[in-house]
């Protein structure tokens, strides 16, 4: 699952220097998501029909 970190500066004071992040900058960790998507992609390349069959709804499920 992706993680999101948002830093804002709202006290009206001077900007902090040396933090390395500007106000409103977003850091997203996508390493785990990329790995998961790669795994799904390779599965679909090999067994797309079987994958779809396993998710077909039966009897209103």
pTM recorded for the entire structure: 0.37
According to DSSP, residue 55 is labeled: T
Residue-level pLDDT at 20: 59
Asked whether the predicted pLDDT for residue 2 surpasses 60, the reply is no
pLDDT for 32 beyond 80: yes
Q: What is the pLDDT of residue 9?
A: 60
* Gap between the Cα atoms of 17 and 57, Å rounded: 56
Is the pLDDT assigned to residue 44 strictly greater than 80?
yes
What distances in angstroms separate CA 42 from CA 2, 39, 45, one per listed residue? 21, 5, 5
Question: Cα–Cα distance between 16 and 30 in angstroms, integer?
Answer: 28
């Amino acid at each position: 699952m992706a993680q999101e970190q948002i830093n804002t500066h709202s006290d009206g004071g001077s900007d902090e220097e040396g933090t390395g992040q500007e106000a409103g900058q977003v850091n997203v960790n996508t390493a785990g998501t990329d790995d998961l998507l790669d795994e799904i992609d390779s599965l679909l390349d090999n067994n797309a029909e079987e994958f779809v069959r396993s998710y077909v709804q039966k009897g209103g499920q």
